[in-house]
Structure 1
Amino acid sequence: MLFGVLCFIVVVQVRSAAPPGPPQNISVDKWLLSWTPATKEEDVTYTVQYSSFDSRVWTDVPACIHISSYSCDVSSTKALGEHGCVMLRVQAEKKRGLTSKPVKACSRRGDSCTPDFSLTAGPGSLTVHLSRNYSLAMEHEDHAKYRVYYGKEGEPLKSYRDDVASVTIRELQEGQRYCTKVEYIYFDESVGPPTCTQCEVIPESKKDSKLTETVVAVVLVSVLLITFIAYLLIFQRGRIKQWLQPPYQIPDNFLLKPEHHLPISTSIPTEEHWDVISCISPEESRE
């Protein structure tokens, strides 16, 4: 009994000494920031911080410090960032000064701080449709770009492409699900929150699918043909022999003595006449 109580006390102390889990699903929609807790603990509070793209310093949002709720209005930060855009993040806190790793927020809809895009998946490729006509690009031209992050679903989106308009990512594995997120950058620095992740399945090539269908059809026809031929050879041999017989009937008198025969010639060949040639003996020729 005493041992069990001691174990319980140790477990409680260890849990109270561990930092809280980081918040999840952090997103902003019309300057309302919301998230979900990693664990439901009563003594956990949350603090929201912001940072402008021209400053890497993170500052607490005055209305969102040590709050126990899972959302906060961050519209006051709009006037604090250049172009009215700021990056946002949230971290969980416990008593005794234990804090979680801060997690950045994404934006659920496009605006002047976050791009609006759509996806089109093709065989081996994924196209991110983006517009060239946005306020940041009009003001700063090619110094303002899109940064498109991409990767397989469930993996960190570490790969990215920078461009001023739509981007097509090629050489992707067909049948796999790929995800993307996009943000504005100015001189290689993030301007506002990135978009929330969107995912699409990369379809298989039509040529490959047609080839597969053709192979399946050929195999199926071959199996049916072999089965039909085997059935005929095993169960229909007699009928096959009948089909193979020539369309000819043997006469009834085929084995009888023929009634008429061709006449046999009895004429004797005429004797041939030969001329007698006298020969000279050698003795006569000497005389």
Structure 2
Amino acid sequence: MALAMLYVLLWIHLVGQAVLCEDLPPPRDVHVDPLLRWTPAPEHSNVTYTAQYRRFDTRGWRDVPACVQTELTSCDVTSVKAKAEYGCVELRVRAEKHNLTSGPVDACSDQGGPCSPAVRLSARPGRLTVHLSRNHSMALEYGDHAQHVVYYGREEEPLQEFERTTSSVTIGDLEEGVRYCVKVQFILFHKSLGPPSCTRCEVIPGSSTNHSMIVVAPIVAVFLFTVFLIPAIAYMLIFHLEKMKQWMQPYSMPESITRPLPENCRFSSIPTEERYEVISFTEESCVRA
């Protein structure tokens, strides 16, 4: 009996440890717009969230006072931005439940702004161009000391740093048909300034796409010729055949033009009174005998 009770207590202890060691899923879609927002994991309830920030001139993370173990899914971070240098802070959110704490998720900016770059992508065969503005507020104030850090990689793989630049860049030697993702963050004097852009992805098109366009173009031209030009010709032949015959008859010169001149007619050249240049013309003059 005592042995049975010991097994029961041991089983309860193991189950309790398993519950405590259960992984708590982190929040999703953490972004700034300009409120800090996130989406909770759907399979968990009674979860609270804590938002944290990091200033440009510091390395440590601090809790946002108004968003510690909150049940809300948004946080007003205006107060911490107001106290930060340049008004820029990096942000992140973690989930908490009882003794469990999820890993933090960094916030991103989908719209861009003074602290986050606006990013646009365009894909070509083997290449992906990251379009960035040189005229953002930090660049206008600090010049080349304000830069973009461009990260890229295949979808669902960790992004790696590609280049630090002040303007748009093109990433080459990419595999066609593969989806690549990019995010960009401002740095000032080689220190991260604010939330990075939210990750954007594009599929690299194949060169066969251009070949197919070359093949399709003549087919479209033949189709348009068949649909529009042939019916127009048929209409003219059916309803305007007589007029077409008249238009196609040989043209006869008037008799007054083909008649020979009398023998007593001569030509005289009379200069015109042009202001800038002299142009001569021929006048027919007939002298009576």
- TM-score category, normalised to shorter length: 0.5 to 0.7
- Tell me the equivalent position of 2:147: 145
Mark the runs of 5 or more structure 2 residues left unpaired by the alignment: 216-289
Mark the runs of 5 or more structure 1 residues left unpaired by the alignment: 214-287
Deviation at 1:5, TM superposition (A): 11
- Tell me the equivalent position of 1:61: 64
- Tell me the equivalent position of 1:78: 81
Q: 1:108-257 alignment to 2 at 5 Å?
A: 108-206=110-208, 209=211
- Tell me the equivalent position of 2:275: none
Deviates more, 1:154-163 or 1:2-11: 2-11
Q: Which of the numbers 20, 24, 30 marks the counterpart of 2:24?
A: 20
Deviates more, 1:51-60 or 1:33-42: 33-42
Please give the per-residue CA displacement for 1:163-204, whole angstroms capped at 9, x wherever unaligned: 101111111101111111111111222101011111111011
Aligned equivalents of 2:135 and 2:14: distance in 1? 60
Distance 1:11 1:173, change over 3 A: same
- Tell me the equivalent position of 1:47: 50
Distance 1:132 1:89, change over 3 A: same
Alignment length, in residue pairs? 211
* Contact kept in structure 1, 2:30 and 2:36, CA below 8 Å: no
Aligned equivalents of 1:108 and 1:6: distance in 2? 50
* Contact kept in structure 1, 2:51 and 2:94, CA below 8 Å: yes
Amino acid at match of 1:48: A
Deviation at 1:46, TM superposition (A): 1.1
Amino acid at match of 2:126: G
TM-score w.r.t. structure 2 length? 0.66
Q: Which of the numbers 83, 93, 97 marks the counterpart of 1:94?
A: 97
Deviation at 1:80, TM superposition (A): 2.0
Aligned equivalents of 1:120 and 1:110: distance in 2? 18
Secondary structure, aligned partner of 1:26: strand
Task: Show structure 1 runs of 4+ deviating over 4 A.
Answer: 2-10, 206-210
Aligned equivalents of 1:70 and 1:9: distance in 2? 34
- Tell me the equivalent position of 2:273: none
Tell me the C-alpha RMSD between the 2 structures: 2.8
* Contact kept in structure 2, 1:174 and 1:204, CA below 8 Å: yes
Secondary structure, aligned partner of 2:66: helix
Aligned equivalents of 1:100 and 1:32: distance in 2? 18
Aligned equivalents of 2:161 and 2:114: distance in 1? 24
* Contact kept in structure 1, 2:125 and 2:206, CA below 8 Å: yes
Identify the structure with the greater strand proportion. Answer: 2
Deviation at 1:26, TM superposition (A): 1.1
Distance 1:160 1:35, change over 3 A: farther
TM-score w.r.t. structure 1 length? 0.66
Aligned equivalents of 2:145 and 2:210: distance in 1? 42
Secondary structure, aligned partner of 1:183: strand
Deviation at 1:135, TM superposition (A): 1.1
Distance 1:39 1:82, change over 3 A: farther
Q: Which has the larger radius of gyration?
A: 1
Distance 1:4 1:26, change over 3 A: farther
* Contact kept in structure 2, 1:37 and 1:70, CA below 8 Å: no
- Tell me the equivalent position of 1:30: 34
- Tell me the equivalent position of 1:282: none
